[in-house]
Structure formats: C-alpha cells, structure tokens
C-alpha cells in the first residue's frame, strides 16, 4: 500500500512478497487498442524491463503527460510486475492501468524515504487516482515575541523567523482569536505592532477596556510587565494550575489589605483564564501532547476529523474531506491522509488514529526521521486514548452528515438551475465574472468558481486590466479582456477532447477546469460582449447567463438574459434566485476587494499626492501624527481632525478619498 491506499488487489499482494527475481513473469505484450486495460498493461510491461529492484517512488503517466498516480514500493520492479500481470482488479485500478502510457521512477535509500517522497509528490502533482488532501492551509500559532523589551502577543502563520515562544497549532483562526482575546484580558499583554508601540504618547483604547497594561506609555514598569509575560508563557506551556493558584493568592492578599480595586483586577484575570478553558471542551487528563485522527465514511465520501492537544489542553478541531475513491477502506484513506498532512507540519510525539492500517509503523518511522524525535502512531484500543478517538469519530460522523446534507441541497439547486435555464447538463463548474474600478482607474476583473461542493476559493482568479485604450468605465471592454485571457489560457493548457471519444468520456469524470456555465454580472450588453469574445475563440458550447440588477439595485428583482429567450425574472422567493444572488454577490465581493487592494498599493507607492488639497506641509503633518499611510487610511473622521493643520473640510476629503465606493 502506498500513501494513497491500496493500489493493487489482494490477489496480487502475494507477488510482492516474493524475493526471487525468477518469480517475475515474462511479458510479450501484443498490440492492443489505446486506452484499454491490455494496452495499459503492455505499456507497464515495457517499462518493467527498466525498473529498478530497489525502494522508491513511481509515477504512472497518461498520453497527455499528466501524472495519474504516484506510488511507493519497497521493490519498484516487483510492484510494477503486479500491475502488468493479468488478474482481476477493481474498477478504479483498471481505469488507472488503462490510461497509463508511460512511467517514471525515483529510487531512494530506504522505504521510509520513499514514503516521504511519495507524500511530497502527491501534494505537488495532485494525481487524480491518489487520495488528495484538500483545503491544506497552514495552521495558526500564538506567538509571544522575545525580540523587544515589551513582548507582543499575536497570531502567527508561516515560517518561524521571529524570535519568541510559539504555541500551537490551533485548528483555525477562530480558535486562536478567541484564545488571544481571553489572554489579553488575563495577562494584559500588548498586541500592537512595534511601530505603533513606539509612536504612542498616550494609552490606546485597549488600555481603557482593560485588555492591555500599556507598557508603551509607562503605565506598567519593566519588571511588572515581565512578570505578566512569564505568567502567560507558563499558562500556554501547560502550567495553568500554578498560574491560577498564584493569581488566586494575589487576589486574597489584595483583599486582606483592603485593596479591593487590585483584587478585582486579579478576579477578572482569573475569570478570563476560566473562559479559555471552558471554550476548550474536552481536555485529556494523562495526555500532554497528541493529535487525534478519526475517519468516517458514508455515501461515498470520507471525513477525517483532527483534534489538537498541546500542554494538556484542547486547541481545537477541524474536519477534512479528502478526495478518495469510494472503494478505499477507512484505514487506507487515513494512512494516505496522514502522510500528506504531516508533509509540511511538525508532528507531535503521539498521533492517535481511529483505524489501523498496514503501514502505521512505517509512517511512524518516517515522521520520526523527519522530526528528529520519536513519533508514535498508535491505534487507540482502550482507556482515555479510546475516549479521545471516539469523541473525534463522533465529530467526524456529524461533520460528514452536515456535508452530505449541504451537498444534497446543492445538487437540488444545480438541478433546478439546469432545468430553468435549459442547460445541456447539470453544471459541475460555474464561473462567475464581475469587474470593479474607480472612474476607470485600477480596474480589476474577478472570477469565482462554484460547484456541487459549494464555492471553490482555491480556483478564484483576478485579472488586472491591461488594455490601455479602454475608455474610463468601459465595462464591456473589460469583460472582453477578462474572458479572452481566461479562455485563451484554457485552450492552450487544457484542450478538450472531441465529443463522443473515450477521452471525452474520461474527462467527464474528472475535475475539469472548463466551465459548464458562465454567469456575467450585467445585462444584454455584457451578454453580447461575452458571446462575441467566446465566439472569436471558437468556444460555442459554454452557456452564458447575464444577471442584471433590479430597479434601484434591489435584490430579488433581477432580470436574466439568455441567448434565444426573452429577458425574464424568477419568483421573488425562489431558492434558485437566492442561490444566483449569492454567487453574484460573492463575485462582487471578490472583485471589489481585489480592486481596493490594488488601489491601496498604488496610493502607498505614490504617497499622498493623489489626495486633492493636500500639499507637502499637510502630508508631513499627517505622517508625523499617524506614522504610516495605512494608519491614515484606517483613521476615523474625528481622528483626522486632530491633526494640526487639518480642518474639518480637509479631514472629510481625506476620509472620503480612502473610503470611496468603487464603481462596478
């Protein structure tokens, strides 16, 4: 079994255990029609003569040069011999073999190295016959810095380049934000940047609401602030009981001395610590550090739920829905998932799993070799470990039930979309386009993607409008450029197979980049511009729908424009109407956000010279007061009026310049 689950059927496993070269069969492949199982086995047999009898990784490649499958083997030659030998195999393996036209090999010193390389290649190449880990974002950590005399408390992602103490991982940004908010109330550590810290002359709002001790203005001395930092590090390191006892003792001493105001501060800090632990739910009694994985399968889908436990505390959980063939057993999916999950993350010393799998010991050895310390991948059978896994399994079951319910609702909407707009088939990929600009400047086109599984944010794209001779606000010209660039690239990188061919039938089962439907924000003019652009590129079989806003831009009164039909409206309470509105609004949000980001960048690069009525003296005054252009951009109207030399009218112009609504 590779990191993608079983890649051959059990009947051929015996062949892989034989050690004698004489056991390998002789192949004399005959000519067979391309794309058949016989042709695939013949191609594998040809490469078998060149395959090394050593550990390593092999790649199975189709006629277009795309990697179909990445697998690892203790002996590559024997593994490929099992593929080439005629025997019964399941439909997934048969499709994979039939599509194979060539192979590539990479040998490694050990099978452990092969497992690590396999996981790396799967994540990079994303072969369609492997189990694929989706939504693989980096996990957030909490960082208490140590490169400043007043350490900062902040959320951190990415490489650990800054000096300080890192705590995590946390399952998601929400878990980190909740913990940081409670830590601010409990330990009063600053969260502002060093530049903001250095520019303060009076305490900020966080000091007023008792979430910071204001070391920036000397409201607390160095020694006292250092004590707060020590307590925070101890709490996050798992010594929460000691910290709570110290705070309780300090509260008692303050009460005995009749210093009730100080006692109230300690009381509030204790309450904040209790809030952190109450949000954490289940906390293990005997396990200091572990990740708990549980997999549940239903309806052809798999859900892997992971819980993070560090310093004896629950730091959140997260559900994953890996792309896996429905024929794979839960243990196979879990083993493949874990190899990819830890490919770029440090593992804890204990990994608990809900299902056993064949290469559990090999995975533990690979993770240990990479981490530099022993990592135990354990199948929980009893005691507290079993309780944690059962809890994770229940969460996986509930998460998958919600996912299936959402998918069912989504399928109904897509079916209604196909029926209402007379589409040739139920769309699997919908692309929605919108533009955003301010009087023609910093124009950006945006594309979002939706399908049976909802919004696919990893497929979103933005297009900086490049055409120089467009009239300001020429929405039609912008739409033409966006669609031309999008489909020219599609035609070049992912040409479609001719209809009715075996390749076209195979493409129908794959996650194709070609859309089944285009939604355009606009009316008859945008529809005509889109169809003209697609027709010039020879793309005539992709349906296009234009969605025009209702009078006064009222939601629920949209008009739809489709070729060959008169403009029409949907009933105001039609679920399909709400669905299309959500897609259009998401495209608008993405377009406006991309436009504002580009506009802010241009403003920062140009300084403040674009703001009318702001000369060199006022620019200096603004920068001296706020420090950066970003701070000026975020300033409120009353704050702008506080700047020397800035009157109410000038402050209003500055505020409106940074908060102007872009055109669509």
Name the strand (E) or helix (H) holding 581: helix 575-606
d(CA 251, CA 259): 9
CATH of span 607-658: 1.10.150.20
d(CA 442, CA 547): 24
pLDDT of residue 58: 92
Confidence of residue 303 (pLDDT cuts 50, 70, 90): very high
pLDDT of residue 511: 65
pLDDT of residue 440: 59
- CB count within 10 Å of CB 122 equals 27
Confidence of residue 432 (pLDDT cuts 50, 70, 90): very high
Q: How many helices and strands in the chain, by DSSP H and E? A: 22, 18
CA dihedral sign of residues 560, 561, 563, 568: positive
- Mark residue 249 as left, alpha or beta (left: phi above 0; alpha: psi -120 to 50; beta: remaining): alpha
pLDDT of 246 above 90: no
Which has the higher per-residue pLDDT, 364 or 201?
A: 364
Average pLDDT over residues 584-595: 86
What pLDDT digit, counting tens, does each position of 78-134 carry?
988 888 887 767 788 888 888 899 999 999 988 888 888 898 898 888 888 888 887
d(CA 324, CA 332): 10
- CB count within 10 Å of CB 487 equals 20
Cα Rg of the chain, angstroms: 30
d(CA 42, CA 98): 10
**Tell me, which fold does domain 10-125 have in CATH?**
GIY-YIG endonuclease (3.40.1440)
d(CA 640, CA 659): 13
The label of the residue with tokens 């010193």 reads: 109
DSSP state of 162: S
Q: Name, of 175-189, 330-344, 648-662, the range with top average pLDDT.
A: 330-344
Lowest mean pLDDT among 193-197, 589-593, 658-662: 658-662
Q: Count CA atoms closer than 13 A to 501's CA, side-chain side.
A: 9
pLDDT of residue 376: 92
pLDDT of 254 above 80: no
DSSP-assigned states of every residue in 67-130: EEEEEEESSHHHHHHHHHS-----HHHHHHHHH--EEEEEE-SSHHHHHHHHHHHHHHH--TTS
Which has the higher per-residue pLDDT, 424 or 501?
A: 424
What pLDDT digit, counting tens, does each position of 326-373 carry?
888 899 999 889 988 888 788 888 999 999 988 899 999 999 988 888
b/e per residue 155-167 (b: at least 16 CB within 10 A)? bbeeeeeeebbeb
pLDDT of residue 506: 54
The domain covering 430-495+513-596 belongs, at the CATH homologous superfamily level, to UvrC, RNAse H endonuclease domain (3.30.420.340)
CA dihedral sign of residues 555, 557, 560, 561: negative
pLDDT of residue 188: 87
Which has the higher per-residue pLDDT, 86 or 143?
A: 143
- For residue 235, what are the contacts with CB-CB under 8 A and spacing of at least 6? 183, 186, 187, 243, 273
pLDDT of residue 16: 40
What pLDDT digit, counting tens, does each position of 400-422 carry?
888 888 878 888 999 999 999 99
- Is 430-495+513-596 in the same CATH topology as 290-402? yes
DSSP state of 217: G
Confidence of residue 22 (pLDDT cuts 50, 70, 90): very low
d(CA 593, CA 275): 35
CA angle 234, 236, 240 (to 5 degrees): 60
Average predicted confidence (pLDDT) for the chain = 81
Q: Where are the domains of the chain?
A: 10-125, 141-279, 290-402, 430-495+513-596, 607-658
What pLDDT digit, counting tens, does each position of 209-245 carry?
888 989 998 888 888 898 888 888 877 776 666 677 7
- CB count within 10 Å of CB 415 equals 14
- For residue 293, what are the contacts with CB-CB under 8 A and spacing of at least 6? 304, 305, 306, 334, 337, 338, 351, 352, 353, 354, 392
574 three-state secondary structure: coil
First to last CA, the chain: 53
513 three-state secondary structure: coil
The label of the residue with tokens 């599609």 reads: 490
Average pLDDT over residues 561-582: 88
Exposed, middle or buried: residue 584 (CB in 10 Å: 0-12, 13-18, 19+)? buried
Which has the higher per-residue pLDDT, 479 or 31?
A: 479
d(CA 265, CA 609): 47
DSSP state of 400: H
- For residue 528, what are the contacts with CB-CB under 8 A and spacing of at least 6? none
DSSP-assigned states of every residue in 444-505: EEEEEEEETTEE-GGG-EEEE---SSPPTT-HHHHHHHHHHHHHHHHHHHSPPPPTTSHHHH
Average pLDDT over residues 611-622: 76
Backbone φ and ψ of 438, nearest 5°: -120, 105
* Chain centroid offset of residue 67 CA: 23
Average pLDDT over residues 387-408: 88
Which among 360, 373, 140, 387 is positioned nearest to 287, based on CA atoms? Answer: 387
Which among 87, 103, 79 is positioned nearest to 38, based on CA atoms? Answer: 87
pLDDT of 544 above 90: yes
- Looking at the DSSP assignment, which residues form a beta bridge with residue 559? 548
Class of domain 290-402: alpha beta
The label of the residue with tokens 């974002």 reads: 137
What is the length of the chain?
664
Exposed, middle or buried: residue 125 (CB in 10 Å: 0-12, 13-18, 19+)? middle
Q: Per the structure block, which two tokens stand in for 378?
A: 């354990």
Longest pairwise C-alpha distance within the chain: 97
- CB count within 10 Å of CB 648 equals 9
**Cα separations in angstroms, 45 against 13, 27, 40, 100, 105:** 18, 6, 9, 11, 14
Strand 153-156 vs strand 517-521: parallel, antiparallel, or unpaired? unpaired
CA dihedral sign of residues 182, 187, 192, 193: negative
Exposed, middle or buried: residue 549 (CB in 10 Å: 0-12, 13-18, 19+)? middle
């Amino acid at each position: 079994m590779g990191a993608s689950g079983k890649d051959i059927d059990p009947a051929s496993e015996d062949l892989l255990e034989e050690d004698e070269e004489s056991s390998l069969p002789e192949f004399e492949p005959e000519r067979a029609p391309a794309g058949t199982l016989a042709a695939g086995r013949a191609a594998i047999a040809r490469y078998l003569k060149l395959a090394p009898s050593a550990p390593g990784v092999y790649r199975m490649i189709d006629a277009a040069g795309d990697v179909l499958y990445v697998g690892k083997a203790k002996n590559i030659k024997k593994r490929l011999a099992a593929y080439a030998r005629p025997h019964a195999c399941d439909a997934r393996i048969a499709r994979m073999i039939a599509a194979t036209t060539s192979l590539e090999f990479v040998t490694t010193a050990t099978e452990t190295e092969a497992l690590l390389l396999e996981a790396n290649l799967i994540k990079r190449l994303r072969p369609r016959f492997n189990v694929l880990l989706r939504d693989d974002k980096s996990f957030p950590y909490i960082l208490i810095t140590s490169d400043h005399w007043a350490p900062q408390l902040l959320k951190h992602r990415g490489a650990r380049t800054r000096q300080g103490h890192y705590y995590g991982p946390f399952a998601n940004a929400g878990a980190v934000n909740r913990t940081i908010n409670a830590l601010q109330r409990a330990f009063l550590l600053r969260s502002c940047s060093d530049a903001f810290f250095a520019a303060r002359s009076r305490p900020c709002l966080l000091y007023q609401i008792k979430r910071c001790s204001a070391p920036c203005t000397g409201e607390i001395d160095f020694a006292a602030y250092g004590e707060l930092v020590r307590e925070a590090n101890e709490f996050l390191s798992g010594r929460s009981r000691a910290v709570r006892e110290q705070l309780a003792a300090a509260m008692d001493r303050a009460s005995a001395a009749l210093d009730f105001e100080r006692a109230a501060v300690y009381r509030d800090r204790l309450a904040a610590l209790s809030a952190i632990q109450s949000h954490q739910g289940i906390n293990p009694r005997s396990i200091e550090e572990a990740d708990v994985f549980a997999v549940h399968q239903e309806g052809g889908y798999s859900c892997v739920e992971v819980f993070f436990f560090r310093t004896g505390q629950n730091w959140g959980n997260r559900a994953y829905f890996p792309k896996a063939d429905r024929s794979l057993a839960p243990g196979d999916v879990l083993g493949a998932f874990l190899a990819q999950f830890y490919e770029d993350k440090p593992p804890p010393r204990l990994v608990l799993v809900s299902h056993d799998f064949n290469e559990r010991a090999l995975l533990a050895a690979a993770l240990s070799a990479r981490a530099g310390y022993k990592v135990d991948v354990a199948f929980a059978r009893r005691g507290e470990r079993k309780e944690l896994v059962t809890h994770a399994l229940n969460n996986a079951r509930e998460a998958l039930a919600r996912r299936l319910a959402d998918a069912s609702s989504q399928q109904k909407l897509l079916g209604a979309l196909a029926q209402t707009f007379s589409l040739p088939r139920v769309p699997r990929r919908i692309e929605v386009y919108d533009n955003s600009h301010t009087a023609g400047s910093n124009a950006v086109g945006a594309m979002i993607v939706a399908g049976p599984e909802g919004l696919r944010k990893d497929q979103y794209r933005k297009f900086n409008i490049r055409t120089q001779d467009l009239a300001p606000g020429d929405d039609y010209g912008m739409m033409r450029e966006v669609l031309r660039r999008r489909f020219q690239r599609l035609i070049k990188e992912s040409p479609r197979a001719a209809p009715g061919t075996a390749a076209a039938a195979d493409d129908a089962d794959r996650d194709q980049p070609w859309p089944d439907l285009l939604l355009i924000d606009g009316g008859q003019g945008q529809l005509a511009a889109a169809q003209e652009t697609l027709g010039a590129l020879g793309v005539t079989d992709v349906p296009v729908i234009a969605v025009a806003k209702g009078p006064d831009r009222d939601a629920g009164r949209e008009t739809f424009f489709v070729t060959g039909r008169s403009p029409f409206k949907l009933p105001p309470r039609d679920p399909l109407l709400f669905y299309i509105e959500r897609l259009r609004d998401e495209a608008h949000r993405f377009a406006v956000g991309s436009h504002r980001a580009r506009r802010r960048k241009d403003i920062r690069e140009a300084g403040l010279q674009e703001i009318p009525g702001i000369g060199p003296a006022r620019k200096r005054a603004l920068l001296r007061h706020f420090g950066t252009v970003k701070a000026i951009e975020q300033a409120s109207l009353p704050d702008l009026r506080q700047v020397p030399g800035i009157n109410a009218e000038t402050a209003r112009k500055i505020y409106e310049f940074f908060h102007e609504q872009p055109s669509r």
